[in-house]
Structure 1
Amino acid sequence: MPTTVQARSTESRPPAPRTISGATTAVAKDLGRLVLQCEDRPRIIAAISQFLSDHDANIVESDQATTDPEGGRFFLRMTFRRDDLPVHLEDIERSFAQTMAERFDDAEWRFTEAATPKRVAIMVSKTDHCVLDLLWRARRGEIPIDIGLVISNHPDLAADVRSFGVPFVHIPVDRNDKPAAEEKQLQLLSGNFDLVVMARYMQILSADFLERIGCPVINIHHSFLPAFAGAGPYERAKDRGVKLIGATAHYATEDLDEGPIIEQDVVRVTHALDVAGLTRRGADVERAVLTRAVQWHCEDRVLRYGNSTVVFAR
């Protein structure tokens, strides 16, 4: 169970976790996924296809890419069906490690069950459009996630989040002692989730936090960076008369806003929009970009490679 965190609310500890899980996850019974990257070479797909066939698995979807057909890096995402997959998946993994992994000794690979949603925690400050969109889409079954916790450095969104049946924990951040707040956050997050989403969490996560969290962290920000970094980006965008606004979702790293990009989008704007209008358009783009990034990550469609990504989006 998560360690208790004292919060500035009527509750001294988060309520018993109740997750929101997508209804779509029930459709994927007996579907598995293999995600792999290795040095490109001949007969990779043939070998893996034969391996899955030998384990009575039928391939239903396959995506692959390479950085260079001669000595490049090869990326694969393959979906397969196997009767009673939960019973057999451990044996499939063990057999792959003993046979196939030896043939591709530089490979990074993993098997997952499509029917098992990723466990997700969300970090947020005061702005609600991204966190509420994720909660709403998860409840509708549009994204395959279980949202188990929302952490905020402000209490403002407690009622909204709890209306979805999700625990909300307020952990204030003292600018003079941020490590203390991060330690409390880590007590709740580390080892308990597959993904943490910064849904407009307006704090910089330390390198120590990112190293200890034990799972990927996805961040969303407006694409004015770095031209309009800091406070008031839409005000400055209005002053400059911008014609495009957008958003970027990326993995968080210790280099601020420099992590591998998962998804981006833009929308055209005109001089007729005031700051409030620009902000609304920006919020719409941020919601859409973050949702796609979270969905693709949780469907095992994103493969990280250095400071870049390969995204098998549909």
Structure 2
Amino acid sequence: MARKRKGRDLHGWLVVDKPAGITSTSVINKVKWALDAKKAGHAGTLDPEATGVLAVALGEATKTVPWITDALKAYTFTVRLGQKTNTDDAEGEVTHESPDRPTDDDIKAQLGQFVGDIMQIPPAFSAVKIDGQRAYKRARDGEEFEIAARPLWVEELLLVDRPDADHVTLEMTCGKGGYVRSIARDLGDALGCFGHVRELRRTWSGPFDAKDGVTLEQLDEHAKTDGLDHMIQPLEAGLDDLPRVHCPESSVTKLRNGNPALVMGDVEYGEECWAAHDDHAIAVGIFKSGELHPTRVFVR
């Protein structure tokens, strides 16, 4: 007989304002410990030195992670001009240098090529798998390898500040799978002066904003209490980008058992949506001929 998982049955999202110097996995473990939560996961890894929104899913909310992962995200980052590093950020070794420094107009003229549907090569020091092994492990071992370019949607890329000749601060809104380090590297190459990320902050991710984030200090202060429960956003926040339909009482049990059932709403045939009863998500699925065919069900 399987042992019952210890901890509290918490279902929803806790936004953490991640500080620099800690991995995303460590943050998840700390949240799970502090809240005494049975189950936790996250939507979108941040590099250890990056800060900002790390959206932590609790309990049944972990089933909504794919929609937050797919949602648009916004970053503010500072590029160090004149230097390329092997990690494309300030943690790596400088491999190339240039005395040239572009003007603001030079930089703005190059930003357009990084907007829209672009192809991007992830950094060598990244979690991308090459023949079953993480790229960063191969890079640490000094191996030479190539990473295939991947598609990325960039909604917007703006120059917002120029602190000095060596640095430029940019804001980017992009879709799933974007590497800010790659943008900094490729922009530096396009400008002919090299570049790497000096500072990086994720300001929002889907419906979650950094201003609503809990700090690690708050997690420590309220650890093993219910002091942060009021900060937990509902599971339904993870479904913000999907249309909603109404699930009548007669359909609740059917949907929770994974069976098609009658729902009501203004959605197209074959469209993905989520069904709610009394404002609680019951299931996500495909709408067909007045019925929802569930692909995920929520049990709370």
Greater RCO, 1 or 2 (C-alpha within 8 Å, sep 6+):
2
* Richer in strand (by share): 2
* Richer in helix (by share): 1
